[in-house]
Structure 1
């Protein structure tokens, strides 16, 4: 009979691409993981992995088994966590993805007290500025900054996110500050690549207005956008959780063009097909409380 420990070892090796990395993630010795993997293959009577000196790859049987094995491991983990929650304990693994800058500045400090209060939660937090897919990439939830558009997601608003046009005092001294949306198009812009296009959207009197400034730089990280703007490369549209400290320090100055950028949010989302655990709901409430309404970074 297949043992859940062996199935979990196979899933970990398939996801990690090596026995060594799987052993590190499972906090087991390499020999134990290899043993469990070999036992699964003996029980199934099939080789699940091609082994070479450089890497491991799935066999045809391994690919066929992986989808169900992943689901089995996840459901057993969720069942164990549900039993713990019935006893009033938040426990078990949780995998969340979040943007790098927001994670470093605000998410981490909001989560640390919660994790200290619930030591049986095993949180894996992946900080990455790419737009990950909550369902396809195997995350329990993702934290995002922007509009809520994906209808396949269950989403919770954690905080509002006000954005500002800003540039360095040096750039404004050299080029002037645009006083209207029409003038804004004549300036150099620093854009966030993960938005998918080099434009800014504003709330005009007759509906959304799209502005395309001259491109000075495109980059996929908010910290670098702020740094580039402070270096005088152009105008940036930044959330206040990034721009606020830079404006207070005098490295950036706010620009008023008479229209607000479109509203955005910090939100947590999960696939509508996933079971929403008590620990995930508890983290949502913790983050809402920690960020405040309006969020503390607006002060």
Structure 2
């Protein structure tokens, strides 16, 4: 594929027409039109619907523009960095992170990142779904135990596990059903935990169903019942005696991964943020994430 023709196509698509693109780039309109036509012929695709007064991307053209624009930008940035002898951390970085990690850690991480790299323009969105990085224009996503995806590469940077906790006036019962605070509307019958005396199943009766893990933790702190929560979210409460731990939930080990597309060059912005994650969580332990909670300013 002719990269120059691809660059001209993205120029026309970005400006919404040959005339506007020609004026912005100070190049002949006929040259841009010819090169886009050559690209369409090479791909055997119609990239634009050409009306009398307007120019619209076809579905195939829109898909090519979304992908090619980001790739060409990265190639240009890499060439500039190599020519200057170093890769400066600058420009726009878009990150998607899950709700709990966003609420507990991303604020401080984001502040530290822009402090280190003042030429960065960082945008973080909070979302538990697996976003389409290419289509939605993300440079990096953070997810909990993501499914295997050939289009993505990454590494785990933080590990956690679930524990069952309750208030200090609610000891682990020998039998019967325990009032519980649970997440969402999923049916819950019991939790299997490993304690000092072996593994056991705790039968639960959900008295509260809440959508946020922080809401659940706050309700348990107030004595509403027992709950299954990440250790990082309650480790300080356990250490202070504010909550007691009934045991680890069997098979509940989880990992947070930082992911980026395999088809993209690992630019300086993503590399620098990965470095910050490694420095912030050198052991990848739940207690390191807990340190971001209620930390004095």
TM-score where L is the length of structure 2: 0.65
Report if the CA contact (8 A) 1:202-1:262 is conserved.
no
Aligned residue for 1:28? Answer: none
What is the CA distance between 1:243 and its match in structure 2?
A: 1.6
Structure 1 unaligned segments of length 5 or more: list them: 11-31, 51-58
Q: Does 1:74 align with 2:64?
A: no
Identify if the C-alpha distance between structure 1 residues 112 and 298 changes in structure 2 by more than 3 Å, giving closer, same or farther.
closer
1:75-126, CA deviations, whole angstroms, 9 ceiling, x for partnerless residues? 1221233234424212333221112332232222123222222233332211
Q: Does 1:142 align with 2:141?
A: yes
1:137-286 matches, cutoff 5 A: 137-145=136-144, 147-152=145-150, 153-169=152-168, 172=170, 176-178=171-173, 186-193=177-184, 198=188, 213-247=204-238, 252-257=242-247, 262-286=252-276
Distance 1:81 1:236 in 2: 49
Instruction: Mark the structure with the bigger radius of gyration.
Output: 2
What is the CA distance between 1:247 and its match in structure 2?
A: 4.2
How many residue pairs match? The answer is: 249
Structure 2 unaligned segments of length 5 or more: list them: 34-47, 292-297
Question: The residue matched to 2:177 in structure 1 has which SS?
Answer: coil
1:35-63, CA deviations, whole angstroms, 9 ceiling, x for partnerless residues? 99xxx9xx75636xx9xxxxxxxx7x543
Structure 1 runs of 4+ off > 6 angstroms? 208-212
Q: Does 1:103 align with 2:99?
A: no
Question: The residue matched to 2:50 in structure 1 has which SS?
Answer: coil
Aligned residue for 1:63? Answer: 59
TM-score where L is the length of structure 1: 0.64
Identify if the C-alpha distance between structure 1 residues 282 and 225 changes in structure 2 by more than 3 Å, giving closer, same or farther.
same
